[in-house]
Structure 1
Amino acid sequence: MFSAALLTAAAIGAVSAQSSSFSEGVIATGTMGVTNPPEATLGTDVNQTSYARLISINDVDDWCIFAPPEAGVTIGDSEAYEVAWCTKARNNARVIPDGTITGVSLIKTDFYVQLMAYGDFTKLNLQQGDYGGELDPHGASGDGNPVGGNVTTNIATGDDLHFEEWMSFISYSQVCFRICTNANETWSSGVMCEHKLDEMGCEFVMPGNYNFNGTFESCEAEVAYPPGVYVTAIDGTSTGYSTFAQYYTGVYTADGQPVSYTVGTTVTPTAPQMTPSSSNCKTTATISNGLSLDGAAAATATSTDSGSSSSGMHL
């Protein structure tokens, strides 16, 4: 494994985390999803049937993730219409019930903010044993998975800013979410939030210390190499890289005839280029919003038909 210092050395003209200027492609330029509030807002009404899709990741006890709006569907089947669930009442989103989360590690780096958490996400409508899938601002239609999903963080500058590139993996027991807050001449925010490695899982795509279950911490950390990127050679001040592409096959039709194709690498790496180390960690005993959500599950179940119909109109 190579030191993260190599990555830092490659960071030509890196944007300061406290700067008000950002490289092209870092700050989101699209419109807010039609189900979302105008801006990230703390202290909104609790609405356990909301279809808002605005994610904010700000602190160890103030963050959101995407999960299904109703039970009985897998992440793979519902990725286009996931909704926001937040640890606090914010963004007109649904609130994550106390007791759902069993461990959190929130890390800040010079290039991204990364949330990693363990918990019982069946309480957020995931199916027991669903190993989940990957969500990002692109999707099959180019409108995002979920459609209209937006993200903000105030960790980069202290202000709630909308960022263009992000990615999230969620299963019934684990979630990881990265918001890419920086770019330079070597690594764009899209490369740092590479979203085409959906079968590789959190520890490969968003490496870090995953031995935190039972702990609630916020840390600073080294910058990991972009997902799938490996150092091949170092010659003086020049560094060579290779990129792992996830392997899959398919068939398309040309002139009425099926044509098979293969994409990616047949040999799968066993680990990412490096696992960044954390520092300056601060822990808290637990996280809790203290909100009474009694009857929320019943309210959600009652609204399932209308919720699905509403979501359909927005997609």
Structure 2
Amino acid sequence: MIASIAVGAAALLAGVAQAQVTATGTMGPTNPAQATLGTAVNQTSMARLVSLNAIDDFCLFAPPEANSVIGETEAEEVAWCVQARNNARQIPDGTFTSVHFVKTPLYWQIQGLGDLTKLNIASGDEGGELDPHGATGLGNPVGGNVTTNATGTDVHYEEWMNYMSYQQFCLRICIAENSTYSAALMCQHTLDEMGCNWVMPGDYTDNSFTECDGDSAYPPGLYPLSNGSTSTFQQRYTGTYTDGSGSVGMWTQGQTVTPQTAYSTPATSNCVTYSTIGNGLAAVATGSSNSSSSSSSASASGSASSAAASGSAKAASGSGASSSKSGALPLAAGNNLFAGVFSLLAVFASAGAFLL
């Protein structure tokens, strides 16, 4: 059902990050000891450490074997990085046709389009959702970890989500929480069928590469109401159970009507536009826009689908800080905000196991 709860929405829009929310688990057994730039490239690596530092210094989770379906291999995905880092596999130049990186007070997020069959995803696979929880609580992928250098040093964060399909990706790492919204809520991991544009609203324009500052979006599925409360969408699930007498029954939870869009696309500012990104050429950004724009129109869900509040405020601490070698080619400075770039709702039956 839709749950109405009183929330001070202005606290989110004010964008005040009150705490860093760092990881408490251990490094996965196949991962390097820390995030490191300039490691050897190993296209058969099983390392599962993802970093998000810049438009041309980020990693994604994708399958280790060619022609794989995300929903069937969620526990096995490995790290693929633009730069040579983290002992991971390297993303081939030319994979992406668009990349949009936004830094907000509560999360860092990157999303875009391209030929992700180059990362072993089967052509036509509408994808799946990776997160630190998974069906067993060990993470999907098992042992997967993430870092950003949002504080100036590499910090491991507890909550993140990464949606991947054969042509679209999005990654959000929740770097802070405030008195209203926890990091777990901002990186809500149970909306695995809703798609990138619905869960992580932002700029999904093709043939475009931008890096911006931004306001934080409302948590996925949260819809502020005119009376000051909010409604929270719950993804629909059905299943069967057997009672004490041996009779089999059906259970259902969630809504039968799915909102077509996220509540809004947050404003961005200080955007820099690039002609492309890659790992072959170094360049320095030439300018940025100080203007800011906002939108109340919603962004719709896209193709990368299938996809416990933290409570405690933890101080950021990091080690092994890395500086990014830029392979981005600056084109022009400008502000970019696109609301509702896509209008189709993506709920795919091939999403695989739900991650509860």
TM bin, normalised by shorter chain, reads 0.7 to 0.9
Aligned to 1:222: 215
Distance of 2:169 and 2:9 partners within structure 1: 26
Match of residue 177, structure 2, among 180, 183, 186: 183
Name the SS for the 1:39 alignment partner.
Answer: coil
1:74 aligns with 2:69: yes
| Pick aligned residue for 1:15 from 10, 14, 17 | 17
Tell me: higher relative CO, structure 1 or 2? Use CA pairs within 8 A at least 6 residues apart.
Answer: 2
Structure 1 CA distance for aligned equivalents of residues 35 and 267 of structure 2: 30
In the other structure, the counterpart of 1:174 is 168
TM-score when normalising by structure 1:
0.83
Residue 150, structure 1, aligned to residue 145, structure 2 = yes
Q: Does 1:274 align with 2:276?
A: no
Aligned partner (choices 183, 198, 203) of residue 209 of structure 1: 203
The ranges of structure 1 where at least 4 consecutive aligned residues each deviate by more than 6 angstroms after the TM superposition are: none
User: Counterparts of 1:223 and 1:7 in 2: how far apart (Å)?
Assistant: 11
Question: C-alpha distance in 2, partners of 1:74/1:178?
Answer: 21
Which structure 2 residues correspond to residues 6-85 of structure 1 after superposition, within 5 A? Answer: 7-10=9-12, 14-15=16-17, 22=19, 26-85=21-80
Amino acid at match of 1:214: N
Quick one: percent identity of the two aligned structures? 58
For residue 171 of structure 1, what is the amino acid of its counterpart?
S
Partners of 1:138 and 1:37 lie apart in 2 by 21
Pick from 241, 246, 261: which aligns with 1:252?
241
Instruction: Provide the aligned C-alpha RMSD in A.
Output: 1.7
Partner of 1:195: 189
Q: In structure 2, what is the Cα distance between the partners aligned to 1:33 and 1:78? A: 17
Shift of 1:175: 0.1
Aligned equivalents of 1:233, 1:51: Cα separation in 2: 49
- Deviation of 1:233 (Å): 3.4
One-letter amino acid of the structure 1 residue matched with residue 162 of structure 2 = S
Letter of the 1:248 partner, please give it. Y
How far the C-alpha of 1:289 sits from its partner, in A, is: 1.2
Return the alpha-carbon distance in structure 2 between the equivalents of residues 186 and 110 of structure 1.
13
Per-residue CA deviations over 1:32-70 (Å, capped at 9, x if unaligned) read 000000100000001000000000000010000000000
Structure 2 distance, partners of 1:219, 1:11, is 17
Q: Secondary structure at the match of 1:164?
A: coil
Q: How many residues align?
A: 273
- Structure 2's unaligned 5+ residue stretches are 1-7, 282-356
Give the secondary structure class of the aligned counterpart of 2:24: coil
Residue 10 and residue 56 in structure 1: after superposition, are their counterparts in 2 closer, same or farther (change >3 A)? closer
Shift of 1:12: 9.1
Q: Which runs of 5+ in 1 are unaligned?
A: 1-5, 17-21, 292-315
Q: State the TM-score, normalized to the length of structure 2.
A: 0.74
| Matching residue of 2:232 | 243
Counterpart of 1:77 in 2: which secondary structure? helix
- Is 1:11–1:185's contact at 8 Å kept on the other side of the alignment? no
The alignment partner of 1:76 has SS state of helix
> Is 1:92 equivalent to 2:87 in the alignment?
yes
Match of 1:284 among 252, 255, 274: 274
Greater percentage in helix: 1
Q: CA deviation at 1:257?
A: 3.0
SS at match of 1:285: strand
Does the Cα contact within 8 Å between 2:41 and 2:88 map onto a contact in 1? Answer: yes
SS in 2 for 1:233: coil
User: Following the alignment from structure 2 to structure 1, what is the Cα–Cα distance between the partners of residues 112 and 9?
Assistant: 26
Partner of 2:347: none
